A = this chain, B = another copy of it.
Amino acid sequence: MLNYIFMIAITAEAMSGALAAGRRNMDIFGVALIAFITALGGGTVRDMLLGNFPVIWTQHPIYIYLTISAGILTMYIARYMRHLHKLFLVTDAMGLVAFTVIGCNVAIDLNYPTVVVIMAGITTGIFGGILRDIMCNRTPMVLLKELYASVSLIVALFYLSLRALEINHDLNLIASFSLGLSLRLAAIRWSWSLPVFSYEDEHWRGEESEKTDK
C-alpha cells in the first residue's frame, strides 16, 4: 500500500521537477535529470548520510524509469497540467507523508537515535525539493514561508509516538496520512505559515561579499 503511494508520489515529484527545469529552459536531458533528482534525491541524501548502501533506488530500476519517463512526459503535457493543479497538490502532500514515514523506518532499521530518525524522515521528505532548487539556482522554496517542511516534522513526531505506543501499524499509517494531508491542505487553503526571520544588516561581515555576488 505504502509502496503504491510511493510510486504515485515520485511520479508527482518528478513532474514538479520537470516544470522547474522548464522554467530554466533546460534541454530534455536536464529535464530528465532534475525530475529524477527531485523525486529520488531526498532518499539518496538520507541513504548517503546514514551510510545505508546500496542506496535504495539503485536496487529498484523501476523507480529510475518511472521518474525519468514522468519528467520527459511533462515536457509534452505541461500546458494541460494547469487543470490538474489540485490533483498535484494532493499527490504532493501524499508524497510528503509517504517519504517521511519511509525515511523514519530506514533510520529505525539502522538503529539510529530517535532525533536522527526524525531527521531522516524530514530529509527524505524535503531534500529532493531542496536539490531541485539548488540545481535550478534559486533559494530552496521549502525553507521560505510555506508550511511544508514542518508538516514533515509533525508527521514524523506523530508517527513515531503512535509507534512507541505500539498502535497497530496500519492504523498508524492511516492516522499519519490523515493528519499530514489535512495539515498540508489546510495550510494551502488558509495560507498558514511559520514566523519568518527577516534580517538586514549593514555592519556585519559577509555584507561586502554579498555585494560581490550581484
Q: What is the total number of copies of this protein in its complex?
A: 3
Binding site for B on A (CB under 8 A): 18-31, 33-34, 44, 48-51, 53-55, 58-59, 61, 64-65, 75, 78, 82, 85, 89, 112-113, 115-116, 119, 130, 134-146, 149-150, 153, 188, 193-201, 203-206, 209-210, 212-213
Residues of B within 8 A of A149 (CB): 29-30, 33
Residues of B within 8 A of A140 (CB): 30, 135
Point out the residue from B22, B29, B50, B198 that lies within 8 Å of A198, measured CB to CB. Answer: B22
Residues of B within 8 A of A200 (CB): 23
Residues of B within 8 A of A199 (CB): 19, 22-23, 78
**B130→A135 contact, CB < 8 A:** yes
Residues of B within 8 A of A22 (CB): 197-199
